[in-house]
């Protein structure tokens, strides 16, 4: 039966399955060593094969669960709430597929993200339009007023929106790119759509650490975007090395440059370049999630009111009913 109760049940079952998967993967080396004598560790691919489908199902529930009715949801209600978000999601998936994206889970994730965003937006829009019509205010003001009237409900929607934005960032992992190359001054390397040129390589020492620093020009489409300076440090007292990563952050993707060290002949720098698409949306989604949580903590402007009864008298015998 499709209802809000069943969505809560499925949500709890999926969370329980994810907990068991993580527990099993964590304890598997101990169990395998006890049974066979060989300690076998499970890699990231094993976790991804299990957790990605679980995460996508939870993402879908964040969109459909709150819109289900209690006890039973009618077919007409399902069509009214999910028809247009579902069509828009299918159109997006088809467009991404036509654009060359072939990763199955990435396509499903982007489709679910749009689906959930549209269902949340429709809830704000329908409620805000009703408040605006009754109180003669603009739609944005009406949405704020709507949220203030029921902070737990609409703050929860903001939390769901934050989760969706985080999933957009998670999905970008499917398109990560990296390249490692030994470079000298004047040498080039390419990662993704970026062309990198080393224009300086220097080293030095201060009272705390020794350092090697590379200065890299970043080009895209022939245009100079700026310079990054990844650095490798070796602390003298602790005898430990650290890296200062050069980062170029943008909403669509981040470029990371890491100074891996010097080549065997100590003449060239080992530069590790990484492109992480959409990773900034994880942080944006986290901020939206925190904001939605604070909204939930704010007392609602209009509290739920219940009918009250009052005893005004009683009789010892049955009262006569007049017809």
CATH of residue 206: 2.60.98
Q: What is the pLDDT of residue 191?
A: 93
Helix (H) or strand (E) holding 138: none
Rounded to whole angstroms, the Cα distance separating 190 from 213 reads: 19
C-alpha atoms less than 13 angstroms from C-alpha of 138 in its C-beta half-sphere: 2
Residue 11: which domain range? Answer: 1-73
Rounded to whole angstroms, the Cα distance separating 137 from 157 reads: 22
> Could you give the 3-state DSSP secondary structure of residue 133?
helix
Q: Which of 32, 50, 73 represents a domain boundary (last residue)?
A: 73
Q: What is the pLDDT of residue 69?
A: 65
Q: What is the pLDDT of residue 310?
A: 59
Q: Which of 43, 73, 103 represents a domain boundary (last residue)?
A: 73
| Closest by CA position to 60, among listed 116, 102, 134 | 116
Q: Is residue 96 domain-resident?
A: no
Q: Indicate the number of domains in the chain.
A: 2
Q: Is residue 307 domain-resident?
A: no
Q: Is residue 265 domain-resident?
A: yes
Q: Which of 56, 73, 90 represents a domain boundary (last residue)?
A: 73
Q: Is residue 18 domain-resident?
A: yes
Helix (H) or strand (E) holding 28: helix 4-36
Q: What is the pLDDT of residue 306?
A: 47
Please return the burial class of 150, using the count of CB atoms within 10 Å of its CB with bins 0-12, 13-18 and 19+: middle
Q: Is residue 125 domain-resident?
A: no
Q: Is residue 290 domain-resident?
A: no
Q: Is residue 312 domain-resident?
A: no
Q: pTM here?
A: 0.83
Counting as low any pLDDT under 50, the low residues of the chain are 306
Distance of CA 264 to the CA centre of its chain: 41
Q: What is the pLDDT of residue 135?
A: 86
Q: What is the pLDDT of residue 313?
A: 59
Q: Is residue 288 domain-resident?
A: no
Rounded to whole angstroms, the Cα distance separating 28 from 39 reads: 8
Q: What is the pLDDT of residue 286?
A: 95
């Amino acid at each position: 039966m499709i209802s809000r109760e069943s969505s809560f049940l499925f949500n709890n079952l999926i969370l329980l399955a994810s907990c068991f998967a993580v527990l099993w993967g964590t304890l598997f080396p101990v169990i395998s060593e006890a049974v066979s004598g060989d300690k076998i560790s499970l890699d990231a691919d094993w976790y991804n094969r299990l957790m990605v489908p679980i995460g996508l199902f939870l993402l879908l529930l964040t969109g459909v669960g709150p819109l289900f009715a209690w006890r039973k949801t009618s077919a007409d209600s399902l069509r009214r709430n999910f028809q247009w978000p579902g069509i828009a999601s299918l159109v997006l998936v088809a467009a991404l597929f036509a654009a060359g994206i072939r990763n199955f889970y990435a396509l499903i994730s982007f489709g679910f993200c749009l689906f959930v965003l549209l269902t949340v937006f429709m809830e704000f829009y329908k409620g805000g339009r009703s408040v605006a019509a009754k109180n003669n205010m603009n739609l944005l003001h009406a949405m704020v007023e709507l949220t203030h009237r029921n902070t737990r409900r609409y703050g929860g929607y903001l939390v769901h929106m934050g989760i969706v934005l985080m999933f957009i960032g998670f999905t970008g992992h499917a398109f990560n790119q990296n390249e490692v190359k030994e470079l000298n001054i004047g040498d080039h390397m390419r990662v993704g759509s970026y062309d990198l040129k080393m224009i300086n390589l220097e080293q030095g020492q201060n009272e705390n650490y020794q350092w090697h620093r590379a200065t890299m020009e970043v080009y895209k489409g022939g245009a100079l975007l700026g310079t990054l300076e990844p650095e490798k440090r070796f602390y003298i007292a602790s005898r430990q090395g650290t890296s200062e990563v050069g980062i170029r952050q943008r909403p669509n993707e981040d470029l990371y440059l890491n100074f891996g060290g010097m080549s065997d002949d100590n003449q060239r720098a080992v530069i590790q370049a990484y492109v992480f698409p959409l990773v900034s949306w994880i942080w944006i989604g986290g901020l939206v999630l925190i904001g939605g949580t604070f909204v939930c903590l704010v007392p609602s402007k209009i509290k739920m009111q219940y009918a009250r009864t009052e005893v005004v008298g009683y009789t010892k015998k049955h009262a006569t009913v007049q017809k």
